[in-house]
Chain A
């Protein structure tokens, strides 16, 4: 595709439910990132994939959060037992080739998650 796409654009769920957020990166981009952005704040790093493997998951806040990228393209961020504090915009970004230092990261429009 032309850019990074994310689905759904909006997700409303109840506390305690499970949600999945999907990211389709730019075709051919090997590096994929998930960030979380709360209102009035900048994006906060969650996890980085290089190909199929999670090379850095140090930003995941706790074990309720998990992400996969089984074929090295599409990624899914999974949140179990959602809490109201999980409400935020979840952004996905991809970058080309090796995702090396200084590579431009291209962001998707985000998924706005609201936990009631």
Chain B
């Protein structure tokens, strides 16, 4: 069956450390993989997109890797801040007719001051 898995347990880290979130998928062949941030009571906000032929993408303190052999993406936030506390969702961008996103269930990140 098709699955997207993200750690269901919250990730709790100290301010200044690097947060690493994992997204694993099975029986999908996404063209792109996207990461979104979601705060309570709000809709997801786009952060980064990485293509299937890219290994790594960076944007400021954010870094995403994409390994299509392992079917895994890692999302890193360096020098984390309490304001980074949120739920982070990975989403597969399928090369089909609707370009719909298929989301994982998200991982909650808590950054302690």
> Which residues of A does B touch, CB under 8 Å?
4, 31, 33, 35, 40-45, 48, 55-56, 58-59, 91, 93, 95, 99-110
Tell me whether A104 and B46 are in contact (CB under 8 A): yes
Interface membership of chain B positions 11-42, coded 1 if the CB is closer than 8 angstroms to chain A and 0 otherwise = 00000000000000000000110000000011
Tell me whether B100 and A48 are in contact (CB under 8 A): yes
Tell me whether A43 and B44 are in contact (CB under 8 A): yes
Q: List, in ascending order, chain A residues with CB within 8 A of B99's CB.
A: 31, 48, 95, 99-101, 103
Given A33-B100, A48-B100, A55-B97: A107 and B106 within 8 A (CB)?
no
Given A107-B44, A109-B41, A109-B43: A45 and B97 within 8 A (CB)?
no
Beyond known contacts A43-B101, A56-B100: 10 more, CB 8 A cutoff: A35-B103, A41-B105, A44-B103, A45-B102, A48-B99, A101-B31, A101-B32, A101-B95, A102-B31, A102-B51
> Which residues of B does A touch, CB under 8 Å?
4, 8, 31-32, 41-46, 49, 51, 89, 91, 93, 95, 97-106
Distance, CA A105 to CA B92, complexed state (A): 12
Q: List, in ascending order, chain A residues with CB within 8 A of B49's CB.
A: 102, 104
Distance, CA A1 to CA B15, complexed state (A): 36
Tell me whether A102 and B106 are in contact (CB under 8 A): no
Tell me whether A40 and B105 are in contact (CB under 8 A): yes
- What is the chain B residue whose CB lies nearest that of A98? B99
